[in-house]
Amino acid sequence: MCLECSGRHRGLGVHISFVRSVTMDSWSPEQLKKMQLGGNAKLNAFLKQYGVDKNVDIRDKYNTRAAEFYREKLRASIEGRDYTPPSPSEVGASVPTSTVRANSTASAAKRKDDDWDDWGAQETASGGS
């Protein structure tokens, strides 16, 4: 990823996107799996089903309900569990996830730690970068 794109991703916050160096950072098995299962092409194809164009501003794109559904789908795949997101016809996916976040705060507290919020914590604790 180029410096410009990595800066944009860093600007989203680690709860949305976490940038790691291929050469300077170590990667946990879960982080590697996220990279293998995720990626921009898969994200954009998923969002397109919900009417979110790939050229939408990155902050707007990553804060749609469709992006929240994608993150949950990715988490489920990594954890080996089934997850079927609502169909595009059932939701207005362009609605910012602030609505989703407000409704899911309690369930997020109960959810198993999914590594989205603390990708860098492992390196800090182990003395890495």
51 CB neighbour count, 10 Å cutoff: 13
* Residue stretches of the chain with pLDDT short of 70: 9, 11, 13-15, 18, 92-129
Q: State residue 94's pLDDT score.
A: 53
120 CB neighbour count, 10 Å cutoff: 15
Assigned domain for 129 exists: no
Assigned domain for 73 exists: yes
* Identity of the amino acid at 16: I
pLDDT in tens, 115-127: 545 444 444 444 4
For 18-27, which contacts have Cβ atoms below 8 Å and span 24 or more sequence positions?
A: 18/116, 18/119, 18/120, 20/119, 21/129, 24/129, 25/123, 25/128, 25/129, 26/122, 26/123, 26/128
Confidence (pTM): 0.64
Assigned domain for 32 exists: yes
Assigned domain for 78 exists: yes
Assigned domain for 50 exists: yes
| Containing structural domain, residue 86 | 28-116
Q: State residue 92's pLDDT score.
A: 59
Q: Is 65 exposed, middle or buried (0-12, 13-18, 19+ CB in 10 A)?
A: buried
Assigned domain for 95 exists: yes
Q: State residue 82's pLDDT score.
A: 92
Q: State residue 125's pLDDT score.
A: 46
Domain count across the chain: 1
